[in-house]
Amino acid sequence: MRLDTTYTVNTPEGIALTLSPASPIPRLLAWLLDLLLRSGISLALLLLLASLGKLGLGIAMILIFLLEWFYPVYFELRHRGQTPGKKVLNLYVTHTDASPITPAGSLVRNLLRVVDFLPFLYGFGLISMMLNRRFQRLGDLAANTVVLHCHAPHVPEIPLDAASIRPDVRLTLAEQQAILLFAQRSATLAPARLEELARMTGALVPPHQNATQWLQGIAVWLGGGSKA
């Protein structure tokens, strides 16, 4: 059983997302895996460039410096917030509102690792993680980022009991996507909220019809259901 806590953020659509911050233990294991990989790459660089003498050693040291500082930045930005170590441990970095990490956020959180490392062995970073419920080290607090456990998102299916309804108007691709998303998330919203959102479609729903069921019917039709 994990000792992690959870917190909730609300999306613009009114969906409540429950996020699970990673505690120090899995983060330490991910860091150790990344450290092992970086060390292997660094050793390979030294061996390959040592034959060039002092010039080769100088080039190797520059490359190792860049590897140490920009290895996590590269992977966080190019691989959805996951370094190889985090991928193995099923973790990823994101902003606290669950939005994808930005270049500025990744740079800030990683450049401040030097502060987290003080006075030794990530002492300040560990103290910071233990003092806040999202387990954020000082770099995370400065960048407004958090390390989360990956959970396969559960996307509810379109209700099977909804009758297929062909809309009277031509729908754009964006409108079709919005209706399908509405139907898929129906199980996560209260009936009153569903009806409120469905009524925002205006003339798409006839005045005396149940707006929620009508949109769900259109979603069934868009998903390949038989025509009404």
Residues of the chain with pLDDT under 70: 1-4, 11-16, 152-162, 224-228
Alpha helix (H) residue ranges in the chain:
24-49, 54-78, 84-88, 103-111, 113-117, 123-130, 138-143, 173-184, 191-199, 211-222
Alpha carbon 106 to chain centroid, angstroms = 13
3-state secondary structure of 224: coil
Alpha carbon 38 to chain centroid, angstroms = 24
Residue 124: both structure tokens together:
């300040």
- Both 21 and 75 in a single domain? yes
- Both 17 and 112 in a single domain? yes
Give CA angle at 112 (66, 150), nearest 5°. Answer: 90
Residues 228 and 213: their CA atoms lie apart, in Å, by 13
Structural domains in the chain (count): 2
Q: What amino acid is encoded at 121 in this protein?
A: L
Residues 129 and 80: their CA atoms lie apart, in Å, by 22
Residues 149 and 146: their CA atoms lie apart, in Å, by 10
Q: Provide the residue range defining the domain that includes 218.
A: 156-228
- Both 25 and 137 in a single domain? yes
pLDDT value, residue 222: 76
3-state secondary structure of 19: strand
- Both 173 and 70 in a single domain? no
Q: What amino acid is encoded at 102 in this protein?
A: T
- Both 110 and 203 in a single domain? no
Is the CB of residue 75 less than 8 Å from the CB of residue 84? yes
pLDDT value, residue 12: 59
pLDDT value, residue 206: 78
Q: Tell me the per-residue pLDDT of 27-47, one tens digit each, with 9 for 90 and over.
A: 999 999 999 999 999 999 999
pTM score: 0.65
Question: Of the candidates 88, 116, 149, which is a domain's last residue?
Answer: 149
Residues contacting residue 191 through CB under 8 Å, at least 6 positions apart: 212
- Both 100 and 162 in a single domain? no
Question: Of the candidates 149, 171, 198, which is a domain's last residue?
Answer: 149
pLDDT value, residue 93: 96
pLDDT value, residue 224: 66
Q: Tell me the per-residue pLDDT of 173-192, one tens digit each, with 9 for 90 and over.
A: 777 878 887 887 777 777 88
Residues contacting residue 30 through CB under 8 Å, at least 6 positions apart: 83, 85, 86, 88, 89, 91
Is the CB of residue 113 less than 8 Å from the CB of residue 70? no
- Both 145 and 179 in a single domain? no
